[in-house]
Structure 1
Amino acid sequence: MFTGLSAFPLTPMDEVSIDENAFSQLVSRLAQAQINSIGVLGSTGSYAYLNREERNLVTRLAVESAQGTPVVVGIGALRTKDVLKLAEDAQKAGANGLLLAPVSYQKLTEDEVFAHYQTVSQHSSVPICVYDNPTTTHFEFSDVLHGRIAALPNIASIKIPPLSNHLDEAKERVARLRAHIPHHVTIGISGDHSGATGLIAGCEAWYSVLGGLFPLPILAIVKASQRGDIDEVNRLSTALEPIWAFFRRYGSLRVIATIAELKGLVKTPSLPLPIKSLSGEERQRLTACIADLL
């Protein structure tokens, strides 16, 4: 579940409701691609903008539509007590794993973050992936803290931020983290423009945004990595560089929502306000880009 391709679909919505049918169809597409797991209510799933009832709805729809593919559910929230409620909801709905980011308003200390994960791990009956995303949480894990958390019960993976494009630096980063965590805890790369580099550098999983909409191109890169075909990994990822450039400039959520809208997979709008998909010249350029690539 925490190796190979874990694909993260959008949670399409407007200001009235979640588009249940569109979301279920996105999940079904992923299940048919036979990926390793489906990640819902991550950053691509707009978890921070949804209340408990909406998140429970998304979880239930995902489990129902996943056709047996393992479902990993994001449970990040400001307060530990709320995370525990979300974890209970997800487990009751049939989630196979949990994804937890140290969400905060007040900047957290390392001891506070450790206690947060310790409490949740003690109340979980399914494995947990640590979501290291300083861009949104404004918290930076030290390797020592990762090691402390990874030693807790039920911790199974770490979803790390994008790596350096310099392969030697990326390999050094992964090796340094690996030296602090138990062997059974996997390391997964996020930030799709860094995905190929992460796999080559030693990450066992790719937590992918583009894979949540178009799993097959990302799955091909993952499989090439698993068989040690580094030239093919680089070739396939380089072919998607125009998409990665959009991700770097505008953020993966806005771009993937725009692609989903352009492809007719979701209605417009599909994001929670005030976030909007691309418009104007940017949307036109992306339209031309995906016509050539996807």
Structure 2
Amino acid sequence: MGAYTGLSAFPITPCDADGRLDAAHLRRLLAPLVEAGVDSIGLLGSTGTYAYLTREERRRTVTVAAEAVAGRVPLLVGIGALRTDEAIRLAQDAKAAGATAGLLAPVSYTPLTEDEVFAHFAAVAEEGGLPLVIYDNPATTHFRFTPSLIGRLARLPGVVAAKCPGPAPEEAAQTVAHLREAVPEGFPLGFSGDWNATEALIEGGDAWYSVAAGLFPEPCLAIVRAVQAGDAARARSLDGAMAPLWDLFKAHSSLRIVHALAGAIPPRPILPLPEEVRARALAAVTRLEGRAPAR
């Protein structure tokens, strides 16, 4: 599969309490993803807490990951920042460290207009040196892309794919169709939001940008491969088996759950989950894979 199709696994960025990368832990998290054969790795996404890290730690994370995967899996790297010039520098850093593409979210404090987001992408695409994946995550950025804006951006040189929020299952067909109408033919459309991703794939999505796959690549890969084989019934059945994990994600946030499962400290002010919630999560995923996740 290509870098912008199939399963993209999004691991956490394990750090100490001061926000310094735990390189050995990151390598342990990446090794099973490479071994499983994920189609790409989404580094420094929202689950990878890019917004909480310094430029230096972000650069170091990409360097460590690029050395660990050694070209075997494409690396899609979050380069979002409040300022356009900073996003350009982050793109340049990521490229120099070995990234395949940049995941660009329109991070903002002052709400952005569509024209401002378009100009932001145009500048980073031209000056950053990396192919860009449109990163639509309104829950964190408070900006939602319209299909028409995604269509405009998809025609910019250097913008190569889109990562969109997974729609509710009953809206998946219409959402994918509207996006397909807006973008050039063959432009890869991927979806996040693990509990909604399967239906988006069945309705024609090209990629699943998955938090769960950052710790549990095999069951997530099985869903993607079932969809690619045209077996929607099997994909839905496999997705249903992951419902306990999806319920925990929805109740406590996927970021908090995967940090707890990986034995990692979330960046303050995010607090670790209570032990009883962590125990429930461990029980759920042990049933899912028959073993606890690597830590």
Q: Aligned runs of 1:155-166 on 2, under 5 Å?
A: 155-166=159-170
User: Offset of 1:65 from its aligned partner?
Assistant: 0.7
* Match in the other structure for 1:95: 99
* Match in the other structure for 1:192: 194
Which residue among 279, 285, 289 is the counterpart of 1:284? 279
Code of the residue aligned with 2:280 in structure 1: it is R
* Match in the other structure for 2:60: 57
Q: Secondary structure at the match of 2:169?
A: coil
The answer to whether the aligner puts 1:38 opposite 2:33 as a matched pair is: no
Which residue among 48, 51, 64 is the counterpart of 2:51? 48
* Deviating more after overlay: 218-227 vs 276-285: 276-285
CA distance in 1, matches of 2:107, 2:278: 31
Give yes or no for contact 1:124–1:154 (8 Å, CA) kept in 2.
no
CA distance in 1, matches of 2:253, 2:197: 15
User: Offset of 1:290 from its aligned partner?
Assistant: 2.0
Runs of 4+ in 1 over 4 A off after TM superposition: none
CA distance in 1, matches of 2:235, 2:197: 10
Query: TM-score, normalised to structure 1's length?
Result: 0.94
CA distance in 2, matches of 1:225, 1:67: 29
Give yes or no for contact 2:11–2:43 (8 Å, CA) kept in 1.
yes
CA distance in 1, matches of 2:32, 2:241: 23
Which residue among 213, 216, 228 is the counterpart of 1:214? 216
Which residue among 156, 172, 175 is the counterpart of 1:173? 175
Q: Quick one: percent identity of the two aligned structures?
A: 47
User: Offset of 1:125 from its aligned partner?
Assistant: 3.5
CA distance in 2, matches of 1:127, 1:3: 15
Give yes or no for contact 2:12–2:47 (8 Å, CA) kept in 1.
yes
Runs of 5+ unmatched residues, structure 2? 290-295
Report Cα offsets for 1:145-188 as digits up to 9, x if no partner.
Answer: 1111111011111111121121xx21111110110111232110
Which residue among 232, 242, 245 is the counterpart of 1:243? 245
Runs of 5+ unmatched residues, structure 1? 262-268
Code of the residue aligned with 1:102 in structure 2: it is P
Report Cα offsets for 1:52-94 as digits up to 9, x if no partner.
Answer: 0000000101111113211111000000000000000011111
The answer to whether the aligner puts 1:118 opposite 2:111 as a matched pair is: no
* Match in the other structure for 1:12: 14
Report Cα offsets for 1:110-161 as digits up to 9, x if no partner.
Answer: 1100000011111244321100011000011111111111110111111111
Query: TM-score, normalised to structure 2's length?
Result: 0.94
* Match in the other structure for 1:264: none
The answer to whether the aligner puts 1:272 opposite 2:274 as a matched pair is: no
CA distance in 2, matches of 1:135, 1:59: 25
Code of the residue aligned with 1:231 in structure 2: it is A
The answer to whether the aligner puts 1:75 opposite 2:70 as a matched pair is: no
RMSD over equivalenced CA pairs, Å: 1.1
Residues 184, 123 of structure 1: alpha-carbon distance in 2 compared, 3 angstrom cutoff? farther
* Deviating more after overlay: 11-20 vs 79-88: 11-20
CA distance in 1, matches of 2:51, 2:105: 11
Give yes or no for contact 1:255–1:277 (8 Å, CA) kept in 2.
no
* Match in the other structure for 2:153: 149
Code of the residue aligned with 1:34 in structure 2: it is G
Give yes or no for contact 1:146–1:181 (8 Å, CA) kept in 2.
yes
* Deviating more after overlay: 183-192 vs 227-236: 183-192
Number of residues paired by the alignment? 285
Q: Secondary structure at the match of 1:179?
A: helix
